[in-house]
Structures are given as structure tokens and as C-alpha cells.
Structure 1
């Protein structure tokens, strides 16, 4: 399997989607030889699906790839079967996860990525669904009948857009406090916080962390002090059973 889970889609100053990660994506495309990407835009609420697909086409087209908007396909399940790789937009995680379940795409996506080794690229919401559940998303549940279980590509929870900060005058919980609350209720889980400009890459079962700006990932466990991991640190233990 070859899975890239980006925290976000752009950094300040970027003009193109995933600009800060293009070297990594290009290496994946050349390594795997994939040409036909199916784009899953369901997380998008305030933007146009096809416009985002066109943006991605302008990026991936440089390497001879085609981007197909699944929302324009008559049979989404068949579109997944015909795809060589997948790219999943950020946006609202609750809407994305619900639509994947509603359209019967969770099983086919897991089969394609985990069994058929089709590459997967996601950012923000597209990364959140890579964990066992979407419980550690930052998004509001703006749909009813919200569904928590997701793709379970990795056995740990992910918090994209992780920020270690307090806002002056803001009396609500910090991100760390929200994650701590989750772990109190789910002490058997761990949460990986990935800040802007970073990604988790799973290739052939090997997990690595990359950063375009030197920011570390942060690992949260119940009743333990959070720990930091830099690029090059061994984080393979997160893929072991029990997490």
C-alpha cells in the first residue's frame, strides 16, 4: 500500500493545491506508475466539485495523470474499481464520511487501497478518514445521522491541522484539551497531531513522518505526557496492534 495523509492542502504563499508536497507526490506517481486518479470531493461544502477537480488536473497533469471527479460518474463504486489511485479533498469530515458510507464506498476503497495496493492521497478531511474513526476531527457535525467509523487505514486516530496554541481572550478548550477529553473517554486509543505542512506516509506497511517546515508531529496517549517526533524518528510502533 502507498498512502499519503497530508495535514492540509496549502501553506501561506502557495498558489497550487498540495504545492508544498508536490515532490513527494511526484515520487509516488513515478514509483507506482499510476495515471488514472479518481477524485473524491464530498467534503467540500463552499466550493465547486469540478473546479477542485480541474485544479488537481492542472497539478497531476504535469506527470501525465488524469483526474476523474467521482461526483460526475453514474456509478461511483464502478469508478473506484476502474481507478488506479485516489485523491480525497479536505473540507467537512462528517459530510465526507457520511457520503462515503451512503454511497457504499467504504468497503471498495479499503479493498482497493489495502488489498489491491492502489495509492491514496488525502488531506485534512481526506486524512481524518484514514483512521479507525473520525472522532478527532476539528469539524462540526453539520449533518444528521453522523457516522463515526471510517477507512481504518491506520490503527490510530489523526488530528490534522494540529496547532499547539492558546488564543488570547478565548475561554474555550485548546486543541490539546479537546484531545485529552477524547482520550479520557477512549483510553485505549492514541492520537497523532500533524501540523500544517506535514504528512504521514504509509508504504508497504512502513510509517514515516515528513514535514515541509520542520514542525514535529505530536503523539497523545491517555494519562501520559504528550511526546514529539521529528522527521526521521522511528514511529513504526504506531502501526502495531494494540493502538
Structure 2
């Protein structure tokens, strides 16, 4: 299995999508001789699918075709060398994956044919068991459908633990603690901007372009920050490095 689960698509000052992870992504492309990818853009609500596909082509140096051009989207997944899943609105993305009949084809492509999956922001969220730890608003439906479950633990992308002046609502830490209190058998990995989890084969690694760590939220346990994935060794079926 090959998963790149990125908190976000760009860092401040980046000129290219996924620029902070280019070294790892392009090394994987070269090792697997990947020259094309299918792009799943449904999370983008106020943007142009084809324009984003062109941005990815320029950034990654491979041919990128948006799945919305396919008459039978599941067939595009069956023929894909690589799957790219955009950020945007997680609720809308997950609903569209179900409506387009793409959940099982993506699962089979990644698990059985070992097609690499690259998802950022919303695309990272839907790779987990559910989208319950997204930061997004349900713009169309409030029904929480299962997600792809490619990664076995909930992720909260765009994680920030700063206290915003004048904000009187709950902090992100408080919201994630609430999730764990209501779901005490589940954990949440909180990824800051410019960071990612990478599954390659049976190994799980972590990278942060800014040298920052990730946090793990568990019910009844103190939340801590980590810089390697050994903290997840009891939660995931991968070798953590």
C-alpha cells in the first residue's frame, strides 16, 4: 500500500501544489515508473476542476486527468496508475464518492493493485474510517457516511493549537477531546500544516516541512506531541518509523 496523507496542499509562499512534499512524491513516481494520475476534484466547490488538474500536472510533472470527464468514473479508477484526491469540502467529497460509486473501486485499487493514493486536506480526511474529524461544514447533507478506511485512525488536518484573540468558542483541542470522550475507543491524529503521514508497503513514517510534530488525542490520556510514528504503533497495522 502507498498512501500520502497530507494536511494541506500548499504552504505559505509555495508556488506549486504539494511543493513541500515533492521530494518524497517524485521519488515514489520514479520508483514505480508512474507517468499519469486520475484526479478526484469533487471537494472543490468554488473552483475549476481542469485548472486544478493543470496545476497538478505542472507541479508533479506527470499527466493528470480529472475524473469528471469520465463517463464511467469507476473505470477511470480501474485504469489509474495513481489517484490524487483534492482538498476542499470533505462532506461534499465523501458524498460524491458514494454517489459516483467510487468507494469500493478506490479501496480495491489501493489495497489489491497497490495504486498510490495521494490525498490532501479533504482528500486526507476521506482516507480514514470516517469524516467525523473534518473541520468542514456539511454543505449539502448532514448524514455521516463511511469513508475509504485506507488508514485505520481518524485524522484532523489543518490542526492548530493557537488561541485566536477574541474567539470565544471551543479550541480545536477541546473539540478533538470531545470527539474522544464521545468515542472513547477511537483516537485522532492531528496534523499541522506542511506535514504528512506516508505509508509505503508496511512502513508508516511522518514528515513535517516545518520540523513540527503531530499530536495524538485519546480519551483519558494526556495529549502529547510526537515527531515519529512510534507513538502510533499500538493503533495501526504498520511498522512505525
CA distance in 2: counterparts of 1:14 and 1:81, whole angstroms: 32
Aligned to 1:136: 133
Q: CA deviation at 1:93?
A: 0.2
The question of whether the paired residues in 1 share the 8 Å contact of 2:132 and 2:144 is answered with no
The question of whether the paired residues in 2 share the 8 Å contact of 1:207 and 1:235 is answered with no
CA distance in 1: counterparts of 2:141 and 2:172, whole angstroms: 24
Please give the residue correspondences for 1:159-178 in structure 2 after superposition, counting only pairs within 5 Å: 159-178=156-175
Question: RMSD in angstroms over aligned alpha carbons?
Answer: 1.4
Aligned to 1:44: 44
Unaligned runs of 5+ in 2: none
Q: CA deviation at 1:145?
A: 5.1
The question of whether the paired residues in 2 share the 8 Å contact of 1:135 and 1:148 is answered with no
The question of whether the paired residues in 2 share the 8 Å contact of 1:208 and 1:235 is answered with no
CA distance in 2: counterparts of 1:78 and 1:145, whole angstroms: 29
Unaligned runs of 5+ in 1: none
Q: Cα distance 1:199–1:207, how it changes in 2: closer, same or farther (>3 A)? A: same
The question of whether the paired residues in 2 share the 8 Å contact of 1:6 and 1:123 is answered with yes
Aligned to 2:70: 73
Aligned to 1:26: 26
Deviating runs (4+, > 2 A) in structure 1?
145-148, 231-238
The TM-score, its normalising length taken from structure 2, stands at: 0.95
Q: CA deviation at 1:217?
A: 0.5
SS in 2 for 1:201: strand
1:236 aligns with 2:233: yes
Q: Cα distance 1:132–1:210, how it changes in 2: closer, same or farther (>3 A)? A: same
1:96 aligns with 2:98: no
Q: CA deviation at 1:231?
A: 4.1
Aligned to 1:191: 188
The TM-score, its normalising length taken from structure 1, stands at: 0.94
The question of whether the paired residues in 1 share the 8 Å contact of 2:74 and 2:102 is answered with yes
SS in 1 for 2:235: helix
Aligned to 1:9: 9
CA distance in 2: counterparts of 1:230 and 1:190, whole angstroms: 17
Q: CA deviation at 1:45?
A: 0.8
Deviations 1:96-154 (A, max 9, x none): 00000001000000000011100010100000011100000000011125333101011
Aligned to 2:147: 150
Deviations 1:189-213 (A, max 9, x none): 0000000000000111221111111
